[in-house]
Amino acid sequence: MVFKQCQRYQKLWWRAGLGLLLAGVLGSAGLGPAAAQEDVEVINITIRPDPSLQAVIQAREAMQRKRWDELEALVPQASQAPLLGSYAEYWLLRRDLTNPATPVPTQRLERFMATNEDAYLADRIRSDWIVAAARSGDYAKAVELAPVVANNSQVDCAVLLSRHMLGERVNGQVAVDTFEPVSLCWMMLDELVDKNIVGWKQLETMLRATLETSKTGNARRLAALMFDAGQMKSYAAFMKNPRQWLAGQQAPKTTADIALVTLALSRLARNDRDVETAYIQNNWASSIPKADLEWVWGQFGLIAALNVEPNAVQWYRRSGNIPKTDYNHAWEVRSELRQAPIDWVQVSRAIQKMTPRQQAEPVWVYWYGRSLAAQGNDAAARQYYQSIQNDYSFYGQLANEELGQPIPIPPAPAPVTPQELAEARANPGLQRGIKLFDLGWRAEAVPEWNFTLRGMTDRQLLAAAELAREEQIFDRVVNTSLRTSSIADFSQRFVAPFEGRVSAKAREINLDPAWVYGLIRQESRFITDARSRVGASGLMQLMPATARWVARKIGMSDFNPSMVNDFDVNTILGTQYLKMVLDDLDGSQVLATAGYNAGPGRSKQWRAKLLGPVEGAVFTETIPFTETRLYVKHVLSNAVYYAMLFSGQPQSLKARLDTISPNRSRRTNLP
């Protein structure tokens, strides 16, 4: 029993990024309350590091520091390491592929792929080779190597470009749909535009969509594929000052001139929209085609909607039935939902403008059902709700409530058998993933683990998730279990680790434990050393400045930033801050969840712009930040399921969402 406890805590320490090896003495005082109640034998453990594993660790450091001679020298010894021996050679091969001064090591690459057949690194080096071959003009090799299992936009564009260069017919729309703003895709697009395979209309659609998301650098590069040098001067001028540029223009005659004027008019949406609307009506409405003018009004509606302005609908309703991006169609519906009272006929019309694929998303199925019910067509509304009632999501939960049914939890599947677990434990890919997690190498561990899951049956996925639970890799428990299709194990999908210690800290300050667990599941998937791209850390993803501020507020005088990933410190500070945000936002879990993600000041700003009381679901759907909007949905949906699992009682998402009322105060003293 003692040795098993030691292993468990060792793994937690590894995954907390501390890189600690168990050595010396561990007694009951260090093993938690369960062990403290038993007579525990004090043991000594001597761990002798495997030299080949140490070589892999050193090789990774050499790779990261670009010490290539050192990496090359370490490969022979590192290759002897069980499970991870191929990584050092992979890093060296990848360097050789990306170094234009080095000949492609064809024989070594082929030997590596043969030796590691059906393993993640073989597929990864194949992808790297495809990209390198396309960049160097070896198009035949790129096509020969395709396809790969774990593809990405670089690989897909490399293969499309190579097929085109070898004389194969490439569909321009497929290329456009594949495009992402990465180097090989730009190479592909340049070539296909030059050969007139991707045409003007496709480029214009891409440019408009890119400008809509304010990615001006990418937009300029797309514009350069459409316009000549003189026209690009005009483009630069109206991007800087559209009104000034428009003042010097005549009614456009050519396709390019119409496109430039239309784009310039759309940029006016960033100014005083009422003033600019009158200017367009008086000076340009009759000078450009109706479809282009409607697209401009759609851009005015979008900017107004993203600024949470209630009059966004006036421009959207002017936009007619002009096709928009999915992003903009969604905001047209959201702008209608923000009205007081809601015009449900307009909501349904806005949804009907979407493509069938977008209309089929649970969010729009739900709101279309609501619009039908509001118009008295209850039978049709029920059909829409029923079509998503088995979707384990925010809108699936709401659909069940509209049907008057309790939110369901699926029946637990048969437990994973010892044989199924043993087969998972014997899987080399999962073993490699676990070893990488033990080293704290999440960047390598996650793709290795995910690659191994491909083609698994539902039962095999449950077994892999159970193995992850046994190994205390809780994010893989959740993410692996989410892949099952015909069965769902909520004990895995909504795992609640740390033996109630989170719940205890929540209850101490009168916080709902289910809500806290729902938030942690979304923030970090229970990874104690999780770190976001903006620097938030730990289970509850605290920003350094916020952690310091809360520590001062609650009198944690010994706090320093290095403590932020400590379980107790992070959960104390995180739950205390969440309680402060909740109190500051009048006890609304919707507002507090949004405030925890985007800052309480933003929640107050959005609430201040309401025209009247709105359902919590409406407020949530109309949050202007995509990340925050999805975050609130996930956290509150999670909280409902955790509350059901904790209590065994039915729960209401609608009750948790409540109603959000306007409050003009925007002041907050919280960070």
* Identity of the residue numbered 400: N
Q: Give the whole-angstrom CA distance, residue 204 versus residue 225.
A: 10
Task: Decide if 155 contacts 131 (C-beta within 8 A).
Answer: yes
Residue 267 contacts residue 242 (beta carbons within 8 Å): yes
Which has more confidence, 162 or 500?
162
8 Å CB contact between 480 and 55: no
What pLDDT digit, counting tens, does each position of 354-392 carry?
A: 999 999 999 999 999 999 999 999 999 999 999 999 999
For residue 22, pLDDT over 50 is answered with no
Strands 614-615 and 659-660 turn out to be antiparallel
| pLDDT, position 582 | 98
Q: 30: which DSSP letter?
A: G
Query: Helix H segments across 268-403?
Result: 273-283, 290-306, 312-318, 326-337, 344-352, 356-359, 362-374, 378-388, 394-402
Task: Write out pLDDT tens, residues 160-185.
Answer: 999 999 999 999 999 999 999 999 99
Task: State yes or no: pLDDT of 11 exceeds 80.
Answer: no
Query: What share of the chain in percent tops pLDDT 70?
Result: 93
What type of residue is 629?
R
Between CA 388 and CA 374 the distance in angstroms is 19
With a cut of 50, say whether residue 17 has pLDDT above it: no
What backbone torsions phi and psi does residue 613 show, to the nearest 5 degrees?
A: -60, 140
Give how far the C-alpha of residue 267 lies from the chain's centroid of Cα atoms, to the nearest Å.
29
Task: Indicate the SS3 state at residue 143.
Answer: helix
pLDDT at 378: 98
Q: Is 391 left (phi over 0), alpha (psi -120 to 50) or beta?
A: beta
Q: Residue 38: what residue type?
A: E
Q: Which of 432, 457, 428, 464 is nearest to 446 (CA)?
A: 432
- Name residues whose C-beta falls within 8 Å of residue 637's C-beta, 6 or more positions apart in sequence: 393, 394, 397, 518, 653
Indicate the pLDDT class of residue 40, thresholds 50, 70 and 90: very low
pLDDT at 398 over 90: yes
Q: What is the DSSP string of 201-264?
A: HHHHHHHHHHHHTT-HHHHHHHHHHHS-HHHHHHHHHHHH-HHHHHHT-----SHHHHHHHHHH
Percentage of the chain lying above the pLDDT 90 cut? 90
Handedness of CA 247, 248, 251, 257 (dihedral sign): negative
Helix, strand or coil for residue 165?
A: helix
pLDDT digit string, tens, across residues 638-663: 999 999 999 999 999 999 999 999 99
d(CA 621, CA 209): 22
- Inform me whether the pLDDT recorded for 507 exceeds 70: yes
pLDDT of residue 44: 55
Would you call the peptide bond into 49 cis, given omega within 30 degrees of 0 as the criterion?
A: no
Model confidence, pTM? 0.93
Is a pLDDT exceeding 50 seen at residue 3?
A: no
Q: What ranges make up the beta strands (E) of 505-656?
A: 614-615
Burial of 426 per CB tally in 10 Å (0-12, 13-18, 19+) = exposed
Q: How far apart are CA 142 and CA 166, in angstroms?
A: 11
3-class secondary-structure state, position 497? coil
The pLDDT value given to residue 533: 80
In 284-325, which ranges are continuous DSSP H helix? 290-306, 312-318
Which residue stretches of 403-500 are H helix?
Answer: 418-425, 428-439, 442-452, 458-470, 474-481, 490-493
User: Which has the minimum average pLDDT: 26-40, 141-155, 462-476, 479-493?
Assistant: 26-40
Measure the CA dihedral 554/559/565/566, to 10°. -80
Burial class (CB in 10 A: 0-12, 13-18, 19+), 45: middle
In angstroms, rounded to a whole number, what is the distance separating the alpha carbons of residues 63 and 58?
A: 9
Strand partners, 44: 25
Residue at 390: amino acid letter = N
Contacts 24+ apart (CB under 8 A), 417-422: 420/459, 420/460, 420/462, 420/463, 420/466, 421/463, 421/466, 421/467, 421/470
CA–CA separation, 620 vs 588, rounded Å?
12
Residues 6+ apart with CB under 8 A from 295: 208, 262, 266, 319, 322, 324
User: What is the pLDDT, as a whole number, of residue 32?
Assistant: 36
Q: Which amino acid is at 364?
A: W
